[in-house]
Amino acid sequence: MRRSETLADDLRSLYQEIILDHGKTPRNFRVVEHHSCKAQGNNPMCGDRITVTARVGNGTLEDIAFEGKGCAISIASASMMSEALKGQPIDAAQQLFSAVRDLCTGKADTDQAKAAVAPALSDSVDKLAALSGVRQFPVRVKCATLAWHALISCLEGKTQTTTEK
């Protein structure tokens, strides 16, 4: 086996570990107190249902959390999203959402996704790259982006979102 293949395998198992960890022990699995927005995301293809709540103040995502039921990927993605965005400026949400979408659809690799976000978000993109494994499974892309769609809806003042389209 060539060296590059070994590295790719290592990365794959590392990614799997991160997703299993967040899927089993989701961070910020709750409702944000005094939240300023709330939105539910549905992914009928897989049965994932995630409700995102956030509190915005002074242009910052002061708190962000989620609740719901879903497959390991949808829960892991929501958990990682809450960790990455808590305390960040609001526009970080759109930037990281674009990064996750591009990573999951294969439109960008990790370096390209990092180059497209603010330097302060670079480390978050590294972690979120764990979700990029879904690019081999198009149906799973919706699982990985569900919480992000819900968050964007939440910030735009909509209450429902679906990844059906």
Gap between the Cα atoms of 124 and 100, Å rounded? 10
Residue numbers 73-92 binding Zn ion by CB under 5 A: 74
Q: Give the residue, chosen from 11, 36, 46, 116, that forms a contact with Zn ion under the rule CB under 5 A.
A: 46
Identify which range of 4-12, 14-22, 41-49, 55-63 contacts Zn ion by CB under 5 A: 41-49
Q: Give the residue, chosen from 15, 29, 55, 71, that forms a contact with Zn ion under the rule CB under 5 A.
A: 71
Identify which range of 4-12, 55-63, 68-76, 91-99 contacts Zn ion by CB under 5 A: 68-76
- Closer to Zn ion by Cβ: residue 74 or 88: 74
| Interface size with Zn ion, residues (CB under 5 A) | 5
